[in-house]
Structure 1
Amino acid sequence: MSTSDATGTPKDHVPQLLDRHELQDYLNHHLLGSRSGVRMFRTAADTWRGTPYEQRFKDLTAQVSEMQDRLIALIDRLGLHRSPLHAMAGLAAAVAGRFNPVNLTRSKTQGMTQVELDILQGALQGQMGMWQALAELATLAPEGGLDRAEMEANHERTRELQDAVRRISDETLGTRFLR
């Protein structure tokens, strides 16, 4: 059973202050992941070069990059610092991602291509989790500078990107697993 504070508000609903250090660390980790994610989408566009899916992946890459820009803008707007260590790790991940260790041959018709598509969906699922957590934090710490509606809109936009990758996966699945 929930106890109440002096105003009668349940204690589990009392607004809290954001731990800005933890939030900064959390957002920097997601920024690091987003750098790898943008690179993975660029690599997928290379995998699908010469097919109708190439442009779809180029469009997805631009949209995923835009979501990364939204994260950077949020970090900046909140007055948090972007970690130079994470930036260097992101550059290393970007270089490594260019080699596409998941789909070395850039095949469109093998099981590893499915793994690549699954990983892209998983990366977007991680980003959706971040936006959802930030939406909840906006409610728990209303003075923290997070806008719930903005975080929910970012969550929805990321879900749409994940759905787009899933559609490509569904449309091309037979080329990998059916004879």
Structure 2
Amino acid sequence: MDIPPETLNRDELQDYLNHHLLGSKSGVRLFQAAASTWNGTAYEQEFLELSEQVSEEQDELSQLIDQLDLRQSVVENAIGMAAEAAGRLNPVNITRSKSEGMTQVEMDVLQSALQGKAGMYAVLARLAERFPDAGLDGQRMSDLYEQAQDQQARVRRISDETMDSRFVAPDHHHGSGVST
């Protein structure tokens, strides 16, 4: 008796990619809000660059959904638009302070979002290996995984470099390089 070949569950893949596309919409706004938090510092430009990269990846993910002949969820697109609007308000760091605990929460949320994105690309790279005819470019997915890891390391570095401005008493700052 022949065992039928494994097939990719395209409905679940569609749902999975749509959820990540939804998350990327608020992610772009979170990076723009972080740039606003760090307005006037060297970190502002770095967060703007990260925002641009995440936006380009969002476009690529949207194109991938189309290339795979999957549907983009109308409901999730509407939710995504609402998330984009909410992201403009920067609900994580409302005061845009560089020196409060909420600034660290903002950094942590950005790293978490990037970790989620890296996880998606790792899954897609593995699926590309298992299902070579599925239309997934395994090398591109691996490259995007590495890019997400690099982005996460950049946010972690900024967090580390600015940590003293949040957690060390003002008269004891050593080398944080950030004025609040």
TM exceeding 0.5:
yes
Q: How much has 1:15 moved relative to structure 2?
A: 5.5
Supply the RMSD in Å over aligned alpha carbons. Answer: 1.5
- 1:100-115 superposed matches below 5 A: 100-115=90-105
Point out where structure 2 has 5 or more consecutive residues left out of the alignment. 170-180
Aligned partner (choices 106, 113, 120) of residue 116 of structure 1:
106
- 1:1-179 superposed matches below 5 A: 16-179=6-169
Equivalent pairs, count = 169
Query: Helix, strand or coil for the counterpart of 2:133?
Result: helix
Q: How much has 1:85 moved relative to structure 2?
A: 0.9
Amino acid at match of 1:170: D
TM-score by length of 1: 0.90
Point out where structure 1 has 5 or more consecutive residues left out of the alignment. none
Q: How much has 1:16 moved relative to structure 2?
A: 2.0
Moved over 2 A (4+): none
Q: How much has 1:18 moved relative to structure 2?
A: 1.1
Identify if the C-alpha distance between structure 1 residues 15 and 153 changes in structure 2 by more than 3 Å, giving closer, same or farther: farther
Q: How much has 1:142 moved relative to structure 2?
A: 1.8
Higher relative contact order (CA closer than 8 Å, sequence separation 6+): 1
TM-score by length of 2: 0.89
- Alpha-carbon deviations, 1:77-104, whole Å to 9, x = none? 1111111111110011111111112111
CA distance in 1, matches of 2:9, 2:38: 43
The answer to whether the 8 A contact 1:17-1:144 is kept is no
